Structure 1
Amino acid sequence: MADERARYKIGPNLWHATAPPPPQTASLETHVTADVAIVGGGFTGLSTALHLAEQGADVVLIEARMIGFGGSGRNVGLVNAGMWTKPADLIATLGKEPGERLLHALGDGPSLVFDLVERHDIPCEAVRHGTLHMAVGAEGLSDITDRQAQWAAFGAPVELLDKDQAHRLTGAEGFAGGLLDRRAGTIQPLAYAHGLAHAGVKAGVRLFTETPLQEATRTGANWVLKTPAGSVTAPKVVLATNAYGTLVEGMPWQASATELTILPYFQFATKPLSANVAAAILPERQGCWDTGLVMTSFRMDKQNRLIFGSIGRLDAMATGTHRGFARRSLEALFPQLGAIDFEYWWDGRIGMTTNALPRLHTVAPDVLSVSGYNGRGIAPGTVFGRALAHHIAGGAHAMPLDETPVTPDPLRAVKSAFYHVGAQAKHLIDRRF
């Protein structure tokens, strides 16, 4: 695994450093057949593979690089319920029946994740004490108050916290309140992906890594997926590459990626804090994110590292700016920290859609694609994986999302560049004065 991290320039990523190893895999170097071929070894692909195999299907999964290389190994690790969009806005966009169907499916998403963790004994630092959406100023407090009312109308166990309650649960200074969602929790995301991979292999899934898809041809009722040294023949295909599909040059079926704006997101992790300092920060170990225009997040891991994230890419020009912003932010939030020393840092891609909701497509006959989790990859990826498996197996009304045609966003490149440059400019000056 260390060799793979070096080959793909993973860098000092906490999740890769602390996750138990994935199952042993190799690249595909022969010609195989299957009932279903899956492209992509992240949450969606692994969940689809596991649930299909548990239903008796013969499944082959190919991953261009390594299990969890993309968003699954770069995620914040918040297992949230629902989407970023407020329930009322989601229903207004999709309509009452499909909107409520998606809300209920994703509202139950954390339960599915934690049930899988328990059932397959996945060692991924799972903590189910909820997540906290922190209010920045009066506008942020108004936003989470509205969210609480909308979720409460669906019977969701969400609790509005005042300033003092928010401070007690976080130890953080400066927030006007918070929204506690008790359905949710945190995990070590790459460890969870590795655990899904182990469970899939045990159920009979054949996993191949370092196996990029190069060409796909339709032959009768089957697809033949060609890779550098082999091929997979299957009547049905699931494309589960999300924001990382375009990294494989020449890969077919990239149409769905053309509707995703890439939102870069970085994280910095401190060295393990002393026991007395760690006890005063997030004592119940909820994960947090805020209502700021340029969002930030913070959480703890099992070893008492404090992990801070925000929008931006850690390239040669921006890393110093984002590191300085992360340090200033943590000093303001937690004055008790003293000198801050970062041990790990990494970044990733979030696939954003124009309506902030995921997309389900048939990108070619018998080729299904789900993408656009808009920063909510863990629970939705797991939910859609199970739904895809049931749908492929013939389950009626299995999908929580209706299909739509691929609709490329002509401004995606401009918006992606704006997020990167805008976040860097804001972080250059934020919390300096």
Structure 2
Amino acid sequence: MKQDMTKIKLHTFSGWIDPPTDLQPAVSGEVTCDIAVIGGGVGGMGTALRLAERGQDVAVIEAEFCGYGSSSRNGGHISGAPGGDLRMLKLFYPKQMKGMVLLADHAAEYLEGKIRDLEIDCDYVPNGLSFGAISPIQMMRVKSCAKILKDAGGRGQVGTAEELGIPRAFVGGMREGVGGMLNPGQLCRGLRGALLASSARVYEQSKVTDVRREGDKVVITTPGGTVIANKVVLSTNAYAGEWDITPKRLSIPAWIIEVETEPIAPERIAALGWTSRTGVLSQHQIMEHFRVTERNTMVFGVRRLERGTSYPLPKDKAPDPGLVQELADAFHTRFPSLADVKVAQAWGGWIAITSSWISLAGKLADNVWYSCCCNGHGLAQAPYIGSLIADNIVDGTMHEDLECIWLDKPKFPPFLMMGKAGLRTIWALDRMGDKFNGHKRRARRAAAAAAAAVSVS
């Protein structure tokens, strides 16, 4: 269904929540602290909250407001499995596989605990996350990934769409045993509230223009003043490449978008066979994801990645209407019984992707820590790893989950297939697979079943 794009809200922030009204003051003059955390996303907030809990003198420096970036703009998944293709991870990192699976599992449990302990109202539903297969070939991939996950100590259930409670448009899949769905904007607002109530000093509206060492100190420059710290944690996700101090090729920035429909009658969602209401990730090379929200809308996204080519990254970037239409078309193809459902809004955000597609952490010299987490798969690893880095700073010890991704030397391989031509090729291969995998026939049969279910109800 073609839709008038001028009727769709194309946000430059997020569709999940409005910006806060209590912006904190910017850095002014000279500020000193023991530990500075650069970046106020879920990773930076998780790091600073733990440091404050440990009684440390910590300051957070954020360019806009805490939760401004991709932390508030994603699909709202808490995943209990590593991001990326588990088959490739096992091939290239066989010795780390078990550790990465346990880290992802522990990270999901950690964030669930934070939501509970801080009493954050973010519509969290612990119903797992499903790897969905739209074809028998994709189901073979799911089963392979499920075995890898199980062998490494992870939790997951393989089954048909009916057994997993995911839409009939999918052949089947694997449902993770931990994690679920939430409103990421509300999660960030809850973490921000906890941070503001802690002993940490929070400086918003303070874009960092330079980070450099001067003797045994680290000097952080902003338009309004300077922060001088004994130790620094770089928790800046896609924005880390703006300064020379950042390890070369740590990550690349990629722009992804999310789309939300207008409200859908609950009986129409139930008629899809979506009894679990768990989020579903397709097994394309560049995934498509679909989820139901607590406001009875559907949020879906990704399908394409747009690589950032230079710093600073574009600010206040709105989604491209053509890509919104492409995602809407894919949604209507996957769920023909909802072909009349319109898109209400769309938004986008910059994520960071490492060349290995796994989370990374390390230390530069004696007083600068860094991490790069998630790779677009779930919210949990960034704050969890941030909390482990905080403990490493305070105690000098290293948790086994942090040790699993720790790099003694910040050397990273080149990014393969992540240029404009490479990303276009991956997208074309996904579409070629769709042309022959029978997913449209399967979706039409599922739509007929959905129509019958609605008529009976």
Q: Residues 428 and 157 from structure 1, CA distance in 2 versus in 1: closer, same or farther, beyond 3 angstroms?
A: closer
Q: Residues 426 and 12 from structure 1, CA distance in 2 versus in 1: closer, same or farther, beyond 3 angstroms?
A: farther
Name the stretch that deviates more: 50-59 or 395-404.
395-404
Q: 2:266 — aligned with what?
A: 275
Following the alignment from structure 1 to structure 2, what is the Cα–Cα distance between the partners of residues 211 and 421? 36
User: 1:24-423 residue pairs with structure 2 within 5 A?
Assistant: 24-85=23-84, 90=89, 93-94=92-93, 96=95, 98-166=96-164, 169-173=165-169, 175-246=170-241, 251-256=243-248, 258-281=249-272, 282-312=274-304, 319-398=320-399, 399-400=402-403, 401-407=405-411, 409-411=413-415, 415-418=418-421, 421-422=424-425
Q: TM-score, normalised by structure 2?
A: 0.81
Q: Residues 91 and 409 from structure 1, CA distance in 2 versus in 1: closer, same or farther, beyond 3 angstroms?
A: closer
Asked whether the equivalents of residues 41 and 69 of structure 2 are also in contact (C-alpha less than 8 Å), the reply is yes
Asked whether the equivalents of residues 65 and 209 of structure 1 are also in contact (C-alpha less than 8 Å), the reply is yes
Q: Residues 307 and 377 from structure 1, CA distance in 2 versus in 1: closer, same or farther, beyond 3 angstroms?
A: closer
**SS state at 1:294 partner:** coil
Asked whether the equivalents of residues 313 and 420 of structure 1 are also in contact (C-alpha less than 8 Å), the reply is yes
Residue type of the alignment partner of 1:187: L
How big is the shift at 1:260? 2.0
Asked whether the equivalents of residues 112 and 383 of structure 1 are also in contact (C-alpha less than 8 Å), the reply is yes
Q: Residues 244 and 285 from structure 1, CA distance in 2 versus in 1: closer, same or farther, beyond 3 angstroms?
A: farther
How big is the shift at 1:99? 4.2
**SS state at 2:406 partner:** coil
For structure 2, list consecutive stretches of 5 or more residues without a partner in the other structure.
1-9, 307-313, 441-457
Q: TM-score, normalised by structure 1?
A: 0.86
Following the alignment from structure 1 to structure 2, what is the Cα–Cα distance between the partners of residues 35 and 132? 43
How big is the shift at 1:89? 5.3
For structure 1, list consecutive stretches of 5 or more residues without a partner in the other structure.
1-8
Residue type of the alignment partner of 1:407: K
**SS state at 2:418 partner:** helix
How big is the shift at 1:223? 1.5
Residue type of the alignment partner of 2:361: L
CA RMSD of aligned residues (A): 3.0
How big is the shift at 1:209? 1.2
Residue type of the alignment partner of 1:306: M
Asked whether the equivalents of residues 65 and 212 of structure 1 are also in contact (C-alpha less than 8 Å), the reply is yes
Asked whether the equivalents of residues 162 and 168 of structure 2 are also in contact (C-alpha less than 8 Å), the reply is no
Q: How many residues end up aligned between the 2 structures?
A: 414
Following the alignment from structure 1 to structure 2, what is the Cα–Cα distance between the partners of residues 59 and 317? 34
Following the alignment from structure 2 to structure 1, what is the Cα–Cα distance between the partners of residues 13 and 218? 39
Asked whether the equivalents of residues 161 and 177 of structure 1 are also in contact (C-alpha less than 8 Å), the reply is yes
Following the alignment from structure 1 to structure 2, what is the Cα–Cα distance between the partners of residues 32 and 245? 22
How big is the shift at 1:317? 12
How big is the shift at 1:411? 4.8
Residue type of the alignment partner of 1:243: A
Q: Deviations over 1:230-273 (max 9, x none)?
A: 22222110001121234x5xx342334x3423443221100111
Q: Residues 29 and 218 from structure 1, CA distance in 2 versus in 1: closer, same or farther, beyond 3 angstroms?
A: same
